[in-house]
Amino acid sequence: MTRLNFAAHPFLLGFEDLDRLVERTAKSGDSYPPYNIEQRGETAYRITLAVAGFSENDLAITLEDRQLVVRGRAAREGEAERVYLHRGIATRQFQRVFVLADGMEVTGAHLDCGMLHVDLARSAPESVVKTIAIKKPA
């Protein structure tokens, strides 16, 4: 049986990459760290990740192609001499990837009370109208 996807629709030419992106996103199942995505205006957004136990030095935010990648690696100083009776605060390393649409820009990031806030803005796309000349066959 052939799998039908939305990019196979005849009106959606050239959207194969978007279909692969949707497939890849649907397969990612890791839920750590938890996050919120908030719309803060007509063209402004904020991603907030709960990163308790991580400092600014333990976190890295990069923009790779159209992917916003947030990585965390907690320093393990003095970990050997600690004895936990219960350990419920996760400080394992992580990588969380968000795919950004064309025109999305990262405008800033800050860490506040264990919450990492990454602010985004969408620039207004330019309206382009192009006339295509119709030529007679040679």
Q: What is the pLDDT of residues 4-27, one digit of tens each?
A: 566 666 666 676 776 666 666 655
Query: CATH number of the domain at 32-122, out of 3.40.1120.10, 2.40.50.140, 3.30.110.30, 2.60.40.790?
Result: 2.60.40.790
The one-character DSSP state at 66 is T
**Alpha helices of 3-136 — where are they, by DSSP H?**
16-27
What pLDDT is attached to residue 14? 72
What pLDDT is attached to residue 32? 86
Closest CA to 56 of 96, 105, 111: 111
Which value, to the nearest 10 degrees, does the dihedral of the CA atoms of residues 118, 70, 7, 125 take?
30
Arithmetic mean of pLDDT, 105-122: 96
Helix (H, G, I), strand (E, B) or coil at 19: helix
Domain ranges of the chain: 1-30, 32-122
Residues with Cβ within 8 Å of 19's Cβ and at least 6 positions away in sequence, in order, are 5, 6, 7
pTM (whole model) above 0.75: no
What pLDDT is attached to residue 83? 86
What pLDDT is attached to residue 7? 61
What pLDDT is attached to residue 81? 81
Distance of CA 111 to the CA centre of its chain: 17
What pLDDT is attached to residue 26? 59
